[in-house]
Structure 1
Amino acid sequence: MKVLHIDSSIMGDASVSRQLSQAIVAQLTQKYPTAQVQHLDLATTPIPHLSADILMGQNEEQSALGEQLVQQYLDADIVVVGAAMYNFGVSSTLKAWIDRISVAGRTFKYTENGPVGLAGDKKVYIASSRGGIYGENSPVDFQESLLKTVFTFTGVSDVEVIRAEGVNMGAEPKEQAMTNAFEAIRSIS
């Protein structure tokens, strides 16, 4: 069992999404004691943003990094993404990771019937945190909707969001959001 754990919040120890993603990984390693966990911290070790040189394969170092990131994603049985909402979307570093794993011929292909995902049968947990309250399917949610779309596009049909929202609306809403999220994490089976 291989778990790919990705954190993207810039808030360090104060990050709600990091707390949630770590709790998910702890729950998974309790369930699967022999699980191998690879951790990518995109805030402390950011991936360079996609450029023409990278896209066209003209930078050997970045091509090698891109291949490593794609292979990590493809090899993972479970992916855990800690994603805080920034200005209605994901962090730019998480978007950089998405750009690097969204590779035609590797994680998806185009057919006469449209795109087909190639990432295989895996589970994705999105540990989502939001300062405000947006709910599911909000017209201004470009965070969870983007992540679900990317994972579905690459062939992952089992995507679960564990959300803590309203965390910047005062102590009581934050505490309730965290309680609800940790309860959902404890029910991971």
Structure 2
Amino acid sequence: MKLLHVDSSILGPYSVSRKLTSDIVARLRELTPGLDVSYRDLAAEPLSHLSADHVAARQTGAPSASPRIQEELALGVDVLEQFLGADIVVLGAPMYNFGISSQLKAWIDRLAVAEKTFRYTENGPEGLAGGKRVIVVSTRGGVFSEGAPAAALDHQETYLRSVFGFLGIPDVEIVRAEGLNYGPESKAEAIRAAVDKIANLKAA
């Protein structure tokens, strides 16, 4: 069984999401002997954002792209194949300004590829990347969960559930730590609750 571990926090060793994704991977290693883990750090090795040159180079009959674009397209293929080959995806996704990081968005843009992870049919879009287990570590400085006054500002978890659902993965598991900027006690309690949830994760 293959697991893809992805971090996107820009905070390095100060990142709560990085600690929690590592805890999840450790837990799943315990539950799944022989688990094959690959790792991608989107902050340390960011992907370029999509551009008109990328779109043009993908068109049938397009002239040869520049070496830089060819290299970026090849990397995008590698990213997509790594995702498609994984049985489990553990994703660190901190909230930045009510959404996900731009680094994570660039990664998702490499996954949402027509005829690879979704297709359009007469009955509407159909996800093609089903059968995976996706566990998202969601960290937020404020409180945005359902019922909170600021819930309408959550464009992080809602986006991730929507995009993975569109790709055929409707049941995304969320390990959440929020209120991290409300003081030391709130931060410690949020992390403790997330760690407890991780300790109760089941095998795939």
TM-score (normalised: structure 2): 0.90
Q: Distance in 2 between matches of 1:74 and 1:103?
A: 11
- The percent of aligned pairs where both chains have the same amino acid is 52
Counterpart position of 2:181: 168
8 Å Cα contact 2:161-2:170 kept in structure 1? no
After the TM superposition, which segments of 4 or more aligned residues of structure 1 sit over 4 Å from their partners?
A: none
Q: Which string of whole-angstrom CA distances, capped at 9 and with x for unpartnered residues, describes residues 134-180 of structure 1?
A: 11372111111111111111111231000000011100000110010
DSSP-derived class of the 2:181 partner:
coil
Aligned partner of 1:182 in structure 2 is: 195
Q: Is the 8 A contact 1:74 1:120 kept in 2?
A: no
Q: Give the TM-score, by structure 1 length.
A: 0.97
Question: Does residue 107 of structure 2 align to residue 94 of structure 1?
Answer: no
For residue 13 of structure 2, what is the aligned residue in structure 1?
13
Q: Which residue of 1 aligns with 2:23?
A: 23
Write out aligned runs for 1:61-140 (5 A): 61-136=71-146, 138-140=151-153
Once the two structures are superposed, residues 12-52 of structure 1 have per-residue CA deviations (whole angstroms, 9 ceiling, x without a partner) of: 01101111111111111111121111111001000001111
Partner of 1:49: 49
2:116 & 2:43 partners in 1: Cα distance? 26
Aligned length: 189
> In 1, distance between residues paired with 2:72 and 2:110?
10
Compute the displacement of 1:56 (Å).
2.7
Please tell me whether the aligned partners of residues 138 and 157 of structure 2 are also in contact (alpha carbons under 8 angstroms): yes
| Runs of 5+ consecutive residues of structure 1 not aligned to the other structure | none
Distance in 1 separating the partners of 2:123 and 2:85: 26
1:86 and 1:156 map into 2 onto residues whose CA distance is: 24
Q: CA deviation at 1:53?
A: 1.3
For the residues of structure 2 that align with 1:55 and 1:69, how far apart are their CA atoms?
17
- 8 Å contact from structure 1 (residues 5, 40) kept in 2: yes
Provide the aligned C-alpha RMSD in A: 1.0
Which residue does 2:166 correspond to in 1?
153
Deviation string for 1:104-161 (max 9, x for gaps)? 0100000011110111301000001000111137211111111111111111123100
Letter of the 2:137 partner, please give it.
Answer: A
Specify every segment of 5 or more residues in structure 2 that has no aligned partner in the other structure, as ranges. 58-64
Tell me if structure 2 keeps the 8 A contact 1:165–1:177: yes
